[in-house]
Amino acid sequence: MIRAGLVTRWAVAVVAIGSIAAIQSGVSPLAAQQDAQPQSKCKAGPNTLGVSRTVEIDTTGGPRFGRLQYRDHDFLQEGEVVLTFDDGPHPSFTPMILDALDEQCTKATFFVLGQRALSFPAQLREVGRRGHTIGTHTWAHANLGRSSAAQVESQIELGISAAQLALDGPTAPFFRFPYLSDPGAGQRHLQSRDIANISIDVDSHDFRTKSPSRMIANVLRGLQEKKKGIILFHDIQPSTAHGIRQMLVELKSRGYRIVHIKPKQSQSTVAEYDQRLERDRHARPPRVAAVRPSSAPVARPAPQQAEAPAASQQRIRDTRDWRDTIFGRW
């Protein structure tokens, strides 16, 4: 077990145009050689984003990324961005986003919810089939900030087990905390399980607006300030689903380059949570609610959770916005 905030071993391998350059433990990924190798079978042209390079992350010890919260590691060079999408899959919006990414011959990372993965397995498998990275985001988007250690573990592990069951294969050992609320118990659990904690640099705030243009402006403003970064989108949000094509065009026109992150290791599940999920599936078949734009199914009840912490009014508003979007106000 590694203390929260301390990562003793990590490594990144960079696949760029030509060969693989491995970064040894403790060496900055920015020092890696960048030779040439094709990134995918997609015929990227001068007008498509493509993928400039792939970063392979050694998740041993649970390294933390994303400079909005952490200063541990930074593998991005100026002008480089990582596209990430949280809270899916969504039956309509996720396919729209996948098509837009395909048009630009580029790749992203999806942090999925266990509940939604089991409700929409076909969409999740399509994410994997198209070559994107799939990480996890808890079972039911619980705010872990005031949860017990047992509840934190349950949310994390049920999310992993559910995603792998829906995918019928391993997910990446990449995790993102809902609301970026990262209690010590959660960080320690990730470290003990060799799961990378992927935070963000730039927030699209797509959950605060239905306007694609406003979402795009939020991202461009953040990138102008940060010069690079891991970008947060949500593939359950209409502003992102309807604005992602133009967003990618804007990134290309401004000279940003896409980095695709992949894990060195695959993600294992914990038998206890696999069995718990199977028992629940047999006892309580999934019931998917009527699908409306931005509405989500409630496939089965999530583990009991503490309420969002009252100390942060902003976080409470974020929680309310997310619930309103998921359960059908919009």
Q: Angle of helix 149-167 relative to helix 184-192, nearest 10 degrees?
A: 50
**Euclidean distance between CA atoms 123 and 117, whole angstroms:** 8
Query: Which of the four pLDDT bands, split at 50, 70 and 90, describes residue 3?
Result: very low
Distances, alpha carbon 261 to alpha carbons 65, 107, 253, 327, in Å: 11, 9, 22, 31
Average pLDDT of the residues in 142-151: 94
Measured distance CA(9)–CA(277) in Å, rounded: 33
Whole-number Å distance between alpha carbons of 177 and 197: 8
89 touches 116 (CB < 8 A): yes
% of the chain at pLDDT higher than 70: 73
Instruction: Give me the half-sphere count of Cα atoms (radius 13 Å) on the Cβ side of residue 208.
Output: 14
Domain map (residue ranges) of the chain: 66-259+267-326
CA distance 117 to 276: 16
pLDDT in tens, 116-133: 999 999 999 999 999 999
Integer angstrom CA distances of residue 184 from 138, 209, 262, 317? 16, 32, 25, 23
Residue 311, pLDDT score: 35
Contact predicate 125/168, CB 8 Å: yes
Handedness of CA 200, 201, 206, 212 (dihedral sign): negative
Alpha helices in the chain (DSSP H): 93-103, 114-119, 121-129, 149-167, 184-192, 212-226, 238-253, 271-283, 313-326
Lowest mean pLDDT among 54-63, 166-175, 178-187, 313-322: 313-322
| Topology of domain 66-259+267-326, CATH | TIM Barrel (3.20.20)
Structural contact between residues 218 and 203, judged by C-beta atoms closer than 8 angstroms: yes
Q: What is the pLDDT of residues 267-295, one digit of tens each?
A: 999 999 999 998 887 776 554 433 333 33
